[in-house]
Amino acid sequence: MSAYQIKSGDTLSAIARTQGTSVRALLQANPQVANPDLIMVGGHLEVPLAPVSDPAVADAVDLGTQADAEANRTEEATSTGPCNCKDDEETKNPAETPVDAEANEDLLAPVAPDPMDETDFGKSFEATTGTKLSETIAQYEADTGKELSPDTVKTLFTDHDAARTLLMNDRTLHQNYRDILNQNIPATAQAAEAAEYERLSYIKSWYHDPWNNSKWISPDGHLEAVYNKTTGALDNSDAYKGTFNFFGPDNFWGHKAADVDPYNKWGN
């Protein structure tokens, strides 16, 4: 801790900003301050020496323009009286939002999970792909400029005939979304083996240059990866990369309808 003497015109937010801390931290270190808008000129505050490590708090501390605007709106403190730091309602710009301890607390509030990720399908989706449903949809929409609903994604995994219709009529859904879902595959053949991926036979790797590559599939049949036989490095080329399976090879008709047929039409 270090001591700071309150000067005329000081506010807690301005002190926090110049001392590299936060209003909340100042209030915690100075329980004698009952009202953060009322501090006494000539009084002393204990200032925490540790820097603010939470990015949200740091952002609140660094709101320089708002803090300056707040300081300009406060009444000037005198040596014989307290510093009243409340806003002057007659001169306050209604478009401006004052910086206070409660606003800083709001910045620290945890981000609520997306409701689609909390559904039964959202949870099973994350367990299968290693990625949140909301994140894959956001990435797809950012990459393609097309909208994608959670219900459409659920259809791709649960109704192979409807999935086939969707994928056969939308190349970006077949290619771009599969790439997003398949992005958590192991980086090397050695890592795939450690993750208990199955190395497929020469015949089952026919479309992935089995002379030079080996094709591997995750234990649940959804994730595919192709590796160079010599180096063990992942082959992510458009010609030979592995593709995500909405239905694993153990579901013959589902796999053919939703995975093989669209692949035969669109390729990777």
Question: pLDDT (tens digit, 9 = 90+) per residue, 83-122?
Answer: 554 444 444 454 544 545 555 555 555 668 899 999 999 9
Residues in the chain, overall count: 268
Same-domain pairing of 43 and 77: yes
Query: 75 with 187, same domain?
Result: no
Q: Are residues 136 and 91 in the same domain?
A: no
Q: Are residues 165 and 68 in the same domain?
A: no
In this structure, are 85 and 129 located in the same domain? no
Nearest to 238 by CA among 198, 266, 218: 266
- Domain check: are 141 and 98 in the same one? no
The per-residue pLDDT for 104 is: 55
Query: Could you tell me if 197 and 227 lie in one domain?
Result: yes
Task: Among 107, 128, 150, identify where a domain stops.
Answer: 107
User: Are residues 120 and 192 located together in one domain of the fold?
Assistant: yes
Q: Is 133 exposed, middle or buried (0-12, 13-18, 19+ CB in 10 A)?
A: buried
Q: Which of 78, 107, 136 is the last residue of a domain?
A: 107
Owning domain of residue 53: 2-107
Residues 6+ apart with CB under 8 A from 229: 212, 213, 214
Domain final position from 107, 126, 152: 107
Give pLDDT tens digits for 62-72: 554 454 555 55
Give the pLDDT of residue 80.
47
Q: Which residue is it, tokens 């894959």?
A: 136
Q: Tell whether the model's pLDDT for residue 262 goes beyond 80.
A: yes
Name the DSSP letter for residue 233: B
CATH number of the domain within which 39 lies:
3.10.350.10
Compute how many other C-beta atoms are within 10 angstroms of the C-beta atom of residue 70. Answer: 22
Is pTM, for the whole model, over 0.85? Answer: no
Report yes or no: 3 and 47 within 8 Å, Cβ to Cβ.
Answer: yes
Q: Are residues 195 and 82 both part of a single domain?
A: no
Domain total in the chain: 2
Angle at CA of residue 127, ends 160 and 170, nearest 5°: 35
- Check if the beta carbon of residue 221 is closer than 8 Å to that of residue 215: no
CA–CA separation, 107 and 34 (whole Å): 22
Same domain, 138 and 209: yes
Do residue 128 and residue 247 come from a single domain?
yes
Which of 146 and 81 is assigned the larger pLDDT? 146
- Same domain, residue pair 40 and 125: no
Quick check: 51 pLDDT over 60? Answer: no
For 135-189, how does the pLDDT look when each residue is reduced to its tens digit (9 = 90+)?
A: 999 999 999 999 999 999 999 999 999 999 999 999 999 999 999 999 999 999 9
Q: In the predicted model, what is the mean pLDDT of the chain?
A: 82
Instruction: Kindly provide the residue ranges of all beta strands, DSSP E only, lying in the chain, ordered along the sequence.
Output: 2-5, 38-40, 44-47, 82-84, 198-199, 213-217, 224-228
Largest CA distance in the chain: 91
